[in-house]
Amino acid sequence: MALSAPAFLRGRRPRLDMAKEEAAEGYLMVLPVGLGLLIFSFGPIFASLYLSFTSWDLFGPPEWIGLLNYTGMFRDQLFLKSMSNTLYYTLLAVPFGTALALAVAIALNQKLRGTNILRTVFFLPSVCSDVAIAVTWVWLYMPDMGLFDIILKSVGLPSPHWLSSTEWAMPSVVIMAIWGGLGYNMVIFLAGLQSIAQEYYEAAMIDGANRWQSFWRVTMPLLSPITFFVVIMYVIGSLQVFASVYVMTGGGPYNATLTIAYYLFRNGFEWFKMGYASSLAYVLFFVILAVTLVQFVLQRRWVYYES
Amino acid sequence: MALLPARRTRTGLGIVGKIALYILLAIGTVSMLLPFVWMVSTSLKEPGNIFLLPPQWVPIPPRWQNYPDLLKVIPFHLLFLNSLKIALLSVTGALFANSMGAFAFARVRFPGRDPLFMVLLATMMIPGTVTLIPVFIIMKTLGWLDTHYPLIVPAYFGGAFGTFFLRQFFLGLPQDFVDSARMDGCRFFGVYWRIFLPLAKPALATLAIFGFMGSWNDLIGPLIYLNTLEKLTLPLGLAILKGGLRAPGHYTLVMAGATISITPMLILFFSAQKYFVQAIVRSGLRA
């Protein structure tokens, strides 16, 4: 690089101009992100709010119908069904999925041979697409000929008919989702476990605590911010579940696995009811927001922050 | 290849505890691997043999012909190239827009910078379903339906998470780097391009891997934008394959498709494990 003259020899411009130039450069550099914010976030957020008060089939102008989309929802059996299905999915997936991920993380945080390989094994599904996982599990769940039924039959148990039973279809989707998300949450829990200072355990041991006590009195409280984060993200993801049910069941049987995100997709992109689909999107948004806010209020009772 | 550097904490388990733990972990491992084994194994079976009892775990001889057969049903090689093209182009765009924006938010002073950044962060809370329909309408208006543009172009306008992630990284670099380069008459863009960007390679790699994975595995985007068979991506092609081949005997082909679609991600994962873990841990611990 060529030597450059010291700044004072080059005749520095006044400070004000420098600041203006700096600002201009700053605006140019955030321009792509700023435009993206406008075009792909802000614009759409308001556009879809507007559309949610209209009836629109993509052809011709949207027709303003006021609150009709929202008031009509409560008489729409499919909406009510999809909402309760989504909550059912979330209530099954989040507690079991979180507890299992924590258990695996604790097991793989022990002084054992091969834990590194096992961590990799548990993480594998997290890099695979929902679709690839879903088609594989459809094959595993296949009545009579699927691997699960073969295994059940060989030990003399009856098949619950998995995806073709209205009662078992949703739990079957949840089992797959827990399997698929286990490794991701395990990695977050492992990082949390490893950030707990060893001294706490030593102090607990000196005070005569056994493993069980030090788990509940040391590990759980110190891990609670991580647990909180995992639960929040898991809930937000579960309330929007789409790909797995789209591939596995198409919402069936008898709408037993129709989730709110899937119902929204059908309204918008199969029936071209863009107005109604937009109102569903807003309802989903507010449900997510409300559930998240409630969790933030409740966290005071169980999440422990150091300092 | 450690997923996370081993830092053993607790004192040793008793021998009984250790054995119990090993048994539980063995059950866990088998449950985790079984679907993968079944996927690959089915993809190599004679179509007539997939219902054999007891099930055939290792098909002998393996029927490699299922893979060429798959291409006769659906042009999976084209779908593979489409997925690759879309993922690479969108990752490139996202890295560029995010890193440039992140640098400006971290190191350049301009009026309105911090409020703008807060607004950007707030958009991380908005679920994708809310913006889905208006963005679809934008793409339709542009005449971009059934093209790859809707899956690539938005990435060139960055995103909240990537910008946030790289801004954090840039804030960790010394301000002296900016000052001395400025003193030498370097523009801010030069400081970003010549100094900060090369230093951010690990953070960029982490972000690139996550962006690639998100694009490679996405279903909803391709589902609403693409129609023509030759333009589909792997996940969408796989979903259509599964829906189209209703006869159970065709599961050899569906599993061949699934195997093809996960292999690149597995290779990427095994060659860059630490970046995967970093990305998750960072996104997790910022809470």
In-domain check, residue A78: yes
Q: Quote the ipTM score.
A: 0.88
Residue B222 has what pLDDT?
97
Residue B206 has what pLDDT?
86
% of chain B at pLDDT higher than 90: 57
In DSSP notation, B157-200 reads G--HHHHHHHHHHHHTS-HHHHHHHHHTT--HHHIIIIIIHHHT
Nearest to A35 among B2, B157, B236 (CB): B157
Q: Which residue has the higher pLDDT, B14 or A157?
A: A157
Confidence check: pLDDT of A10 > 60: no
In-domain check, residue A104: yes
Angle in degrees, 0-180, between the axes of helices A169-194 and A77-107, rounded to the nearest 10: 40
Are A127 and B268 a contacting pair at CB < 8 A? yes
Burial class (CB in 10 A: 0-12, 13-18, 19+), B282: middle
Are B31 and A179 a contacting pair at CB < 8 A? yes
Are A226 and B284 a contacting pair at CB < 8 A? yes
Are A190 and B213 a contacting pair at CB < 8 A? no
In-domain check, residue A114: yes
A122 and B CB contact within 8 Å = yes
What Å distances lie between residue A173 and A113, B73, B242, CA to CA?
A: 33, 28, 16
Spell out the domain ranges in chain B: 15-68, 70-285
Structure tokens at B143: 């005449």
Specify the number of domains making up chain A.
1
Cβ count within 10 A of residue B217: 23
Confidence check: pLDDT of B1 > 50: no
Per-residue pLDDT tens digits for B65-108:
889 989 988 899 999 999 999 999 999 999 999 999 999 999 99
Residue B287 has what pLDDT?
39
- Per the CB < 8 A criterion, the answer to whether A169 and A252 are in contact is yes
Are B284 and A115 a contacting pair at CB < 8 A? no
In-domain check, residue A10: no
Q: Which CATH number fits domain B70-285: 1.10.3720.10, 1.10.10.10, 1.10.630.10, 3.40.50.720?
A: 1.10.3720.10
Confidence check: pLDDT of B9 > 50: no
B242 and A CB contact within 8 Å = yes
For A118, nearest residue in chain B (alpha carbons): B29
Q: How far is B131 from chain A (nearest CA, A)?
A: 5
Instruction: Give the CATH number of the domain where residue A193 resides.
Output: 1.10.3720.10
In-domain check, residue A170: yes
For B276, nearest residue in chain A (alpha carbons): A127
% of chain B at pLDDT higher than 70: 92
Are B25 and A107 a contacting pair at CB < 8 A? yes
Confidence check: pLDDT of B128 > 90: no
In-domain check, residue A55: no
Per-residue pLDDT tens digits for A146-194:
899 999 998 999 999 999 999 999 999 999 999 999 999 999 999 889 8
Q: Which residues of A touch B98 (CB under 8 A)?
A: 33
Q: Which residue has the higher pLDDT, B173 or A96?
A: A96
Question: Can you give the residue range of the structural domain that contains A170?
Answer: 73-133+164-302
Are A33 and B127 a contacting pair at CB < 8 A? no
In-domain check, residue A148: no
B126 and A CB contact within 8 Å = yes
Confidence check: pLDDT of A6 > 80: no
Residue B249 has what pLDDT?
66
